[in-house]
Structure 1
Amino acid sequence: MVATLNKIASHEIVQKGLTALRNLEHRGASGAEVNSGDGAGILIRVPDAFYREVVDFNLGAPGSYATGIVFLPKDFAQHQRINVIAEEEGLQILGWRKLPTNSKSLGKTALSVMPDFEQLFLSAKDNSLNLALERRAYCFRKRVEHELPIYFPSLSSRTIVYKGMLTTGQLADFFPDLSDTRVVSPMALVHSRFSTNTFPSWPLAHPYRYIAHNGEINTVKGNRNWMAARETLLVSKLIPGDIARLFPIVDPDGSDSASLDEVLELLYLSGRSLPHAMLMMIPEAWENHASISEKRRDFYQFHASLMEPWDGPACVTFTDGKQIGAVLDRNGLRPSRYWVTSDGLVVLASEVGVLDIAQERIVRKGRLQPGRMFLVDIDEGRIIEDDEIKEELASGAPYGDWLHAGLIKLED
């Protein structure tokens, strides 16, 4: 991940993200064809001014419309059904953009399964903004993906994902948008995929809608089964309509990372902050940790009754476009290093050397520790330390009182 503490979106951050991605080529893989990659991608903040210049229809104010790239089968002819679902979900289609792509460098395997690409823009009929719009777009996207053979890498008013079955060096060439100097962002999340427990495919490249992930979730089968078992208990006052129309929340054919992203998305859109949702899913080793505060212990114990840990060797980077960060599994089995420079550049990656930074510019560097979180608040322009994150969350509700009143132990 690459971000700035200066609160300024720039094309330089996008380019630094792409440079870091190219320097992570060894982290990814390809088959016998070196030009058919396992996957590469980038997540950035929506470049509003750029999209206004390249579409021929009106967009509302930033935050009032959502956009995302759509992977479509060849000769797709069901746009009208998409319009109907949008109408049913209280949304209106503002327009479609034929996404520019350049497939000249792709290998035969990647080309043989390559979808068509369009970009969708929509807004809420009731003028919902920001998170309220995110929730409507989420419901729309889930219904469309359940019913039609299409895939949205993202659909958001805040962020957009460009990804595919590509190598790290192909990404910027394949999506010409990324080389346009009008495409600016204060942060970039990039990933080079090494496909382990699933075959390479266009949808399974990272980043997902909220995360990029280095590692494996070894408990994923149990996590998926528990999510399916609990679906009948799910209720949300924030997600509009009958939530059952969105089931299954977790796609059984997705990768472990895709499943983690789907659950994180649900927790976030149902009212939790992104760090809160991450710590529900990937908690630190708290049970025998004698030095953590009682409030923090109560926080973890309360959430342990709601969700089992998504466990395994994993460094998960995450963002909602306002904050960007990373959390390391409680066993610390994946590398994660970070640097902060004197001019406000923040870089976190699986290893040193992803960007060429002069030593005299570095004011802080370190390694993410097991169970720890590293978080940058882009809008506030600061790094939020692990203890501050966790103590604030632990103080956010009377978790100890809830445990005392509602937890019954079998030995009792």
Structure 2
Amino acid sequence: MRSASHPVAQGMYDPRNEHDACGVGFVATLTGEASHELVDQALTVLRNLEHRGATGSDPDTGDGAGILIQIPDAFLRDSVPFVLPAAGGYAVGIAFLPADAAETAEAVARIEAVAADEGLSVLGWREVPTAPGLLGAAARETMPAFRQLFVADAAGEKTGLALDRAAFALRKRAEREVGVYFPSLSARTIVYKGMLTTGQLEPFFPDLSDRRLASAIALVHSRFSTNTFPSWPLAHPYRFVAHNGEINTVRGNRNWMRARESQLASDLFGAGDLERIFPICTPDASDSATFDEVLELLHLGGRSLPHAVLMMVPEAWENHASMDPARRAFYQYHSTIMEPWDGPACVTFTDGVQVGAVLDRNGLRPGRYWVTDDGLVVLSSEVGVLDIDPARVVRKGRLQPGRMFLVDTAEHRIIEDDEIKDRLAAEHPYAEWLEAGLIELADLPDREHVVHTHASVTRRQQTFGYTEEELRVLLAPMAGSGAEPIGSMGTDTPIAALSDRPRLIFDYFTQLFAQVTNPPLDAIREELVTSLHSSLGPQANLLEPT
């Protein structure tokens, strides 16, 4: 039942290399009052970001568009024939089911069995109205069937975040064991998305036009799949984020998460073994989808959403001479347990109560925001996405590198970057933990200096990476005549993998970045925002701060 929206790995194509660079935005109200007007405004923002998305040769098949909103409780109650618990007492999400009716019936039965195994009762299913006639041929051929699944805790005890953890286990198992993708399955938020253009999203999902569908937060995204294939599941938003940019370190990030799985332990996800939700990172997912999966684990595992985001997208702290020591300790501690997810990125995120955005430490993606006198907050990839009278704007600005912009609809205010980070830095004695558990190489005792014999020179040259070319072209002229070493930047030698000669191991590695949309970076020209430090030692449980 795997989605056929993009090809399987073949030739030089691998779905694990999927990246995207897109248009992103959110609309929220500081009053916290849900309304359909806010959903309309978010859809307007989305349509005005059309130029940041893309289509193929078929103009009616988009790379992807979507919206994430709070659970529209009143609308859903009016739309289903079964009784729903109080708001927060049920989780709902759209399932991307097989188009074949028999396969759908089988998938539904298997999902319900998994739900029962996870201690959840299935309240019912709802057919999601759609308008497939709007779609181009490619989108229509790969279009799944859409049904909303409603579940609740069988014991009637779990609500909100606790219910989301149970729904998380159900969703991960359904994706792995049944092959059915859920854009979201939550008691707090719901996602409508697909392989659509920005103008198709609302008419394709008539739910979005219903005046009863209301939210105080709406996150939208228009996808441009950089050198990759569009697909229904890889449209944004995901469960927590919508992302504009590339995660250039994603291959290493995935490998590290896979390595950490054996150490993961938590009693927050029910009594079952955590292996039932592995792998955390779906093998064929895009960089944004992988980022969302790890963020979801960190948040549901006990950390606040801003905390989890800052673990993955830290500001430049190592060479920041004036940074507060407590904040530096916060970043340094987390750098030992989670490597940064680096690359040019504007990441917007929400849990249904807080909504915010963070910019990569280099500031290589745009993010603009403005606040009106009636509490409307708009953030987007660019200005002009919503027609607002300038006289109503009481605050505006742009995201700064490494800074976070956060709206809290429960506290009815914007929480400033310094307050967020100072609060997080004070949660635990990070400086004491570092003092007790981290040893710098410079602090190790000196050893006795050993003068090696000339007989060991070849071994030492090999140890330090000398090559035959360097000995012949650079060192020999220097030793023979005292001449300056002369070399050039260019090379016409074969790449290491194709060379007939032995090559150094680091010759086989090159910097990975999306050349279409961002520059390569290095630790010399960008010393302030890069680091060459690494930590050695055993991995601890990522879900237990200690």
Alignment TM-score, normalising by the size of structure 2 = 0.75
Equivalent residue of 2:105, what SS? coil
Match in the other structure for 1:106: 135
1:136 maps to which residue?
166
Q: Tell me which of 52, 58, 76 is aligned to 1:27.
A: 52
Counting only pairs closer than 5 Å after superposition, residues 154-173 of structure 1 correspond to structure 2 as: 154-173=184-203
Aligned residue for 1:307? 338
Which of 53, 71, 74 matches 1:49?
Answer: 74
Q: Which amino acid aligns with 2:194?
A: G
Shift in Å, 1:77? 2.3
Show the counterpart of 1:38: 63
How many corresponding residue pairs? 412
Residues 1:357 and 2:388 aligned together:
yes
Task: Provide the C-alpha distance between the structure 2 equivalents of 1:225 and 1:67, rounded to a whole number of angstroms.
Answer: 31
Residue 176 in structure 1 maps to residue 206 in structure 2? yes
Partner Cα separation in structure 1 for residue 326 and residue 217 of structure 2: 33
| 1:133-164 C-alpha deviation (Å, 9 max, x unpaired) | 00000001000100112100000000000000
Q: What is aligned with 2:152?
A: 123
Post-superposition shift, 1:237? 2.4
Please give the alpha-carbon distance, in whole angstroms, between the structure 1 residues aligned to 2:105 and 2:370.
Answer: 48
Query: In 1, distance between residues paired with 2:343 and 2:312?
Result: 11
Aligned-pair CA distance for 1:197: 5.0
CA distance in 2, matches of 1:74, 1:359: 48
Residue 409 of structure 2, aligned match among 378, 391, 408: 378
Cα distance between partner residues in 2 of 1:198 and 1:150: 22
Matched, 1:93 2:122: yes
Residue identity opposite 2:234 in structure 1: L
Pairing 1:188–2:218 present: yes
Post-superposition Cα deviations, 1:237-264, rounded to whole Å, max 9, x if no partner, equal 2122211111100011000000000000
Question: What is the CA distance between 1:319 and its match in structure 2?
Answer: 0.2
| Runs of 5+ consecutive residues of structure 1 not aligned to the other structure | none
Whole-angstrom distance in 1 between the partners of 2:152 and 2:178? 21
- The residue identity in structure 2 corresponding to 1:172 is E
Aligned equivalent of 1:368, options 396, 399, 409:
399
Letter aligned with residue 387 of structure 2 = D
- CA drift of 1:198 comes to 3.3
Unmatched runs of 5 consecutive residues or more in structure 2: 1-25, 445-546
Instruction: Work out the CA distance in 2 between the residues paired with 1:361 and 1:388.
Output: 26
Following superposition, the deviation at residue 395 of structure 1 comes to 0.3
Instruction: Work out whether 1:2 is the aligned partner of 2:27.
Output: yes
More moved, 332-341 vs 189-198? 189-198
Amino acid at match of 1:4: T
Equivalent residue for 1:69?
94
Instruction: Please identify, of 68-77 and 172-181, the stretch whose mean Cα deviation from structure 2 is larger.
Output: 68-77
2:329 paired with 1:298: yes
Sequence identity percentage: 68
- For the pair 1:282 / 2:313, whether they are aligned, the reply is yes
Q: Is the 8 A contact 1:374 1:385 kept in 2?
A: yes
TM-score (norm: length of structure 1): 0.99
Q: Distance in 2 between matches of 1:7 and 1:334?
A: 28
In structure 1, give the amino acid aligned to 2:78.
Answer: E
Q: Give the Cα separation in 2 of the matches to 1:375 and 1:145.
A: 31
Question: Partner of 1:312: helix, strand, or coil?
Answer: coil
Counterpart residue identity of residue 258, structure 2: A
- Partner SS, residue 275 of structure 1: helix
Q: Which residue of 2 aligns with 1:59?
A: 84
Q: Distance in 2 between matches of 1:255 and 1:374?
A: 25
> 1-side partners of 2:50 and 2:312: how far apart?
29
Instruction: Specify the code of the residue in structure 1 equivalent to 2:67.
Output: I
User: What secondary structure does 1:104 align onto?
Assistant: helix
Q: Distance in 2 between matches of 1:395 and 1:71?
A: 42
Q: Verify the 8 A CA contact 1:197 1:255 in the aligned structure 2.
A: no
In 2, Cα distance between equivalents of 1:30 and 1:39: 9
Distance 2:400 2:155 in 1: 45
Which residue of 262, 274, 299 corresponds with 1:243?
Answer: 274
For each residue in 1:57-85, what CA deviation from the matched residue of structure 2 results, as whole angstroms up to 9, or x when unmatched? 01000111000001001121222211111
- The structure with the largest strand share of the pair is 1
